[in-house]
Amino acid sequence: MAVVSRKEYIGVPRDALENYKGNQLLFISWDHHMLAAAPIMFRAHPSTRLGELIDTQLVPLLQSDPDAASIDWNKVEWLKGTEAWTPDFDRSLADNGIRHKQQLRMRTPGLRTLSPAE
């Protein structure tokens, strides 16, 4: 059941989209790269071009990783949520179907300096 209670109980999500004044949240992480210890939270307008968010906000935060300079953005594999996905860097978050609080994951096979595979 939705919650153990004595009578009907309706929870109100605090992080709902309407609480962000037209912006949305999204999360981005880089598989097998844990120098940034957790997926990163971003707040952006849904009309933001994906490429702009990546260039101006994500890339600076990845610089401390020794693999950062070797990323070939044309070869990065992506997951949106749990589904494999091909991003269009020229289009907006909304047009890319990136929902509020969605998790995007980058994979760069073969590039794993600080966490080598078994």
Partner 1 sequence: MDMKTTKKKLSAKERYRLLTRDLAWEPTYRSREEIFPYTQYEGLKITDWNQWEDPFRLTMDAYWKYQAEKERKFYAIIDAHAQNNGHLNITDARYLSALKIFLQAISPGEYSAHKGFARAGREFGGVGTQVACQMQALDEIRHAQTQIHALSNYNKFYNGFHAFAEHRDRIWYTSVARSFFDDAMSAGPFEFMMAIGFSFEYVLTNLLFVPFMSGAAYNGDMATVTFGFSAQSDEARHMTLGLECIKFMLEQHPDNLPIVQGWIDKWFWRGFRVLGLVSTMMDYMLPKRVMSWREAWNIYGVENGGALFRDLARYGIRPPKNWEHAEKAVDHMSHQFMLGLYQWKFGTAFHGWIPSDEDMDWLSKKYPDTFDKYYRPRWDHIKKLEAQTGTTFSNFGLPKLCQCCQLPTLFTEPDDPTLICHRESEYKGEIYHFCSDGCKDIFDNEPEKYIQAWLPMPALMRDPVDGDLGAWMDWAHLQDGVDNGDFHASQDKANFERWRAQSSSNQ
Alpha-carbon distance of 104 to 110, in angstroms, equals 19
Min dist. Cβ of residue 19 to partner 1 (A): 5
Residues 79-108 that bind partner 1 (CB under 8 A): 81-82, 99-103, 105
Alpha-carbon distance of 78 to 108, in angstroms, equals 9
CA distances (Å), 84 to each of 56, 77, 96, in order? 24, 8, 13
Using CB under 8 A as the binding rule, whether residue 36 contacts partner 1 is answered as yes
Positions touching partner 1 (CB under 8 A) are: 1-6, 9-16, 19-20, 23, 25, 27, 29, 31-32, 34-41, 43, 61, 64, 66, 81-82, 99-103, 105, 112, 114-115, 117
